[in-house]
Structure 1
Amino acid sequence: MKEITTSSKITVFENIQELPLVEQNLMLKAIEVRKNAYAPYSKFNVGAAILLDNGKIVVGSNQENAAYPSGLCAERVAIFQAGSIYPEARILKITISGTSERNQTTTPVPPCGACRQSIAEYEIRQESPIEIYYTGETGEIHHSASLKNLLPFMFEKKLL
């Protein structure tokens, strides 16, 4: 038997003002678009904004459905839209902001497992890391330089 040890490096910013200007503006877009979330069941609104290497910004918000598995998270709405509209562009950064209508969200909200896998597909395909910034309604912002920090054992096409 042997053990495999992994580690992740996450940078913590105390608030949005600590972010570099490009990332501040991208996070503000994620915060703004979360107002478009359709979340009547979870009451949890999430917004995502993606910066592409062509300078374009693509946004998405979570869209729920009474048949729960039929909805989509904000990250996947944004990433699939970016892939559809700008198929040749590389994704540089994703910002994510989540808030609850039930209580104040002060803990950073990372992408769920399904979203991590979707982001992984694009990171692997473009052969370059995707930076991820995520936050709650208020408080700290976490930054990962690559999806690999959040999903060290990615499932990918070479495994098929």
Structure 2
Amino acid sequence: MKNISVTSSFSVYESLEELSPEVKDLMIQAIEIRKKAYAPYSRFRVGAAILLDNGKVVLGSNQENAAYPSGLCAERVAIFQAGAIYPDAKILKMAISATADDKEMTEPIPPCGACRQSIAEYEFRQDLPIEIYFMAAVGKVYKSDSLRNLLPLMFDKNFL
């Protein structure tokens, strides 16, 4: 038997003020769209902003449904919209902000597993890493240089 080790590395910014102007603006857009999330059941709101190589920004917020599996996370709303509207554009950066209505969230909140897999599909397809920045309502911002950092043992088309 042989053991392998899988590690992840993140850059940590203490606040929005430490981000580059481009990334700060992207995160502010994620925060603003988060406020428009439809989250009457979970009361957990997420906003995502995606910067494409054509300079366009695509936004998404979580959209819930009384039949819980029918809802969709902000990251997938944004990434699927980017793929539909700009199918040839590459995704450069994604900013994600999440918070709850009934408690203060201060620890950065990464994408869920389903969103990680969806982001992985786009990163694999475009053969270019996607920078992912994520935070709660306030506080630190984590940066991952690639989705592979969040999902190191990725499932992709090579397994099919």
Asked if Structure 1 and Structure 2 have the same fold, meaning a TM-score greater than 0.5 normalized by the shorter chain, the answer is yes
- Aligned-pair CA distance for 1:128: 0.6
| Number of the residue aligned with 1:130 | 130
For structure 2, the 5+ residue unaligned runs are none
- Aligned-pair CA distance for 1:60: 0.2
- Aligned-pair CA distance for 1:35: 1.1
Is 1:154 aligned with 2:154?
A: yes
Is 1:100 aligned with 2:106?
A: no
Q: Which runs of 4+ in 1 moved over 2 A?
A: none
| Number of the residue aligned with 2:21 | 21
* Structure 2 counterpart SS, 1:83: helix
Deviations 1:59-80, CA, capped at 9 Å, x for gaps: 0000000110100000000000
Counterpart Cα distance in 2 of 1:109 and 1:6:
21
- TM-score, normalising length from structure 2? 0.99
- Give the length in aligned residue pairs: 160
Larger deviation, residues 1-10 vs 45-54:
1-10
Q: 1:76-115, aligned counterparts within 5 Å?
A: 76-115=76-115
- Aligned-pair CA distance for 1:4: 1.2
Deviations 1:124-159, CA, capped at 9 Å, x for gaps: 000010000000001100000000000000010000
Counterpart Cα distance in 1 of 2:5 and 2:108:
25
| Number of the residue aligned with 1:49 | 49
* Structure 2 counterpart SS, 1:36: coil
- Aligned-pair CA distance for 1:36: 1.1
Deviations 1:59-115, CA, capped at 9 Å, x for gaps: 000000011010000000000000000000000000000010010010101000000
- Aligned-pair CA distance for 1:6: 1.1
| Percent of residue pairs bearing the same amino acid type | 64
1:96 maps to amino acid? I
Counterpart Cα distance in 1 of 2:7 and 2:131:
17
| Number of the residue aligned with 2:7 | 7
2:56 maps to amino acid? K
Counterpart Cα distance in 1 of 2:9 and 2:54:
27
- Aligned-pair CA distance for 1:9: 1.0
Q: CA RMSD for the aligned pairs?
A: 0.4
2:23 maps to amino acid? E
Q: 1:48-67, aligned counterparts within 5 Å?
A: 48-67=48-67
* Structure 1 counterpart SS, 2:148: helix
